[in-house]
Structure 1
Amino acid sequence: MEEILSQNEIDVLLSAITSGEMDAEELKKEEEEKKIRVYDFKRALRFSKDQIRSISRIHENYARMLTTFLSSQLRTYVHIGVESVDQVPYEEFIRSISSLTVLNIYSMSPLKGSMVIEINPNVAYALLDRILGGKGTSVTKTESLTEIEKILLNQIFEKATGTLKEAWSSLVDVSPVLEEFEENPQFIQMVAPNDTVVVVSMSAEIGEASGMINLCIPHTLLEPIIPKLSAHYWMDNTTDERDEEAFQKLSSNLQTTKVDVQAILGETRITINEFLKLGINDVVSLEQQIGDPLTLTINQEPKFYVQPGQLKKKIAVQILEEIEKGVNTHE
């Protein structure tokens, strides 16, 4: 809404212009300057905030799956999480990473082009240390990786392509292939220096080491699927009706699944010395009052309070009440 001046304010303004205290041309120039906005063509923003959020969502899922994969492979504590998602010129990404690092170049068929996953040396050396039986401690190296170290890292990164494929499956079916392994970023020229790339930065903790993992995704790679990065596309996919046939099949399979059920008559604690001295006709006192109900466990989880009895000449239990999590009314 435009500001409306009072008659008194108009008179004061006209008086100031007439007396020379205020220049009308300068006022006009200031108004024009306000409309000018600086635009850096080297940092062209080709993705909207909505599309960047979609890319972030995909790679948050990728980070979770990569955490699970590396934990199972390395048998140690691993945590990976997305820290930021930015769009920058390709040359800026190259300048931002170490001159000696670990770079994996993946083709993403059927999409045209490649993406780069840069592994900080701290993380890469922790991976190597753990693969070779260490605690996951990082080391500071100034020389290049040996051929054996390259082969070991290549093997783990090739196995990890499945997590990348699964994470992107919500957007497009791709077949990632590790095409190249490089240590010097200056030897990689995927796109023109001024071309826009999306950089997904993830923090990684492996064993006793921590560092960054950066994914560099060129705009040209994402261009064919940009319409799928909109919130409207994601909402359409999340509102699909469930497959009733698959649901019924899953329910049927679950109903026939066998579980381990145990009625705990009682428990007690004794020392090793007492255990070694046990003999025939000795009596072990349980921490269970004769009038209290027993606990029924299902797959080691307490589920019901029961009372013992007999059914058709077989020992049985009768369910009295369900055990609520965090509540024990019979203590």
Structure 2
Amino acid sequence: MEEVLSQNEIDALLSAITSGEMDAEELKNEEKEKKVRVYDFKRALRFSKDQIRSISRIHENYARLLTTFFSTQLRTYVNISVTSVDQVPYEEFIRSVPKITVLNIYSVPPLDGRMIIEVNPNIAYALLDRILGGKGNTINKTDNLTEIEKLLLTQIFEKGIYCLKEAWSTVTDIDPILEEFEENPQFIQMVSPNETVVVVSLTTAIGEASGVMNICIPHVILEPIITKLSAHYWMQTSEKERNPESYDKLSNHLTRAEVDIKAILGESSISIQEFLDLNNGDVIGLNQSIDEPLTMLINDIPKFHVQPGTYKNKISAQILEGIKGVTDNDE
């Protein structure tokens, strides 16, 4: 594939030729020469930049969902964001993982294969501390997790499965299942050492603790949906059809929502001293004429001109007209 220059590189090249810093004839001679590009077959790049961007987009959504989930569960400050998305051999990923860490292994039916979510111990211990009522501080612990600690972490990551399912729903429907919980990466051998995997790194902050969560996705998982990881597919599916069931459910909730309605009889301004001197029988004049319609406010926003009166022995207001300049989109 020929390398595509960016607009800035094209402008710099034209500027150099115009100023005489670079000779066009030299460029022609260079093009005639055979160029050799070094290629490492052990680091086979099986995904295009476009597909990597799509994977990044999926997990940016996952990071937002996971941030909300952890914030709700832990009742503390949580911030998760995508740092990088790389394709590396599986062996390189395993070697980069600490000897003692937290590894959640998920199957993602109907897709083949399993993915790993590796959680840095700093984050894992901050999660445990917060779950057990602490401030979310991390500890320097070199021992293995206890059975109770494993159970608590397994429970919270099982609850967070819906975040992964929702993030991937833009591409395909998956049903993630947390199959294993492991601490030593050497005990995990999902694919061959030279198999290409996509590693998504998430910078994670919980309270004052910070660390990295890595998501390892083997090529075997992404292969059946590789065509859906293109910009063309995303543009085609950007406008999805309305789901009638979801629309009806949302409409029903909205129609039952309560709003605050007020009809303003008038307003007036007085000084503090006048307020202190008020007695029974005193009259405060309002700025509203009896011949003018009143203003009705919906959630403190002026919406209608109304006329006061009675209806079935209750004080009521009859809507005369809407107030110009106020639309339904106003908040």
Q: TM-score range by the shorter chain?
A: 0.7 to 0.9
Q: 1:63: how far off?
A: 1.0
Q: Does 1:249 align with 2:248?
A: yes
Aligned to 1:311: 310
In the alignment, is the contact (CA less than 8 A) between 1:304 and 1:323 conserved in 2? no
Q: Does 1:84 align with 2:84?
A: yes
Aligned to 1:225: 225
Identity %: 60
Q: Distance in 1 between matches of 2:119 and 2:247?
A: 44
Q: Distance in 2 between matches of 1:59 and 1:74?
A: 21
Q: Distance in 2 between matches of 1:46 and 1:316?
A: 71
Residues 82-115 of structure 1, C-alpha deviations (whole Å, 9 max, x = no match): 1111101111111222221111111111212110
Residues 207-230 of structure 1, C-alpha deviations (whole Å, 9 max, x = no match): 221111110001112111111112
* TM-aligned CA distance change 1:248 to 1:124, over 3 Å: closer
Q: 1:296: how far off?
A: 2.8
Q: 1:263: how far off?
A: 2.3
Q: 1:168: how far off?
A: 1.4
In the alignment, is the contact (CA less than 8 A) between 2:83 and 2:203 conserved in 1? yes
AA of the residue aligned to 2:109? S
In the alignment, is the contact (CA less than 8 A) between 2:161 and 2:177 conserved in 1? yes
Q: Distance in 1 between matches of 2:108 and 2:92?
A: 23
Aligned to 1:210: 210
- For structure 2, the residue ranges without an aligned partner over 5 or more in a row are 1-28, 268-278
Q: Distance in 2 between matches of 1:107 and 1:213?
A: 18
Q: 1:121: how far off?
A: 1.0
Q: Distance in 1 between matches of 2:104 and 2:189?
A: 13
TM-score of the superposed pair, with normalisation by structure 1: 0.73
* TM-aligned CA distance change 1:323 to 1:139, over 3 Å: farther
Q: 1:78: how far off?
A: 1.5
Report 1:54-203 matches (<5 A): 54-203=54-203
Residues 148-169 of structure 1, C-alpha deviations (whole Å, 9 max, x = no match): 1111001101111111112112
Larger radius of gyration: 1
TM-score of the superposed pair, with normalisation by structure 2: 0.73
AA of the residue aligned to 1:114? R
Aligned to 2:273: none
AA of the residue aligned to 1:172? T
AA of the residue aligned to 1:181? F
Residues 23-61 of structure 1, C-alpha deviations (whole Å, 9 max, x = no match): xxxxx99965x4111101111100001111111111111
- For structure 1, the residue ranges without an aligned partner over 5 or more in a row are 1-27, 268-280, 326-331
* TM-aligned CA distance change 1:100 to 1:322, over 3 Å: farther
* TM-aligned CA distance change 1:263 to 1:149, over 3 Å: same
AA of the residue aligned to 1:210? S
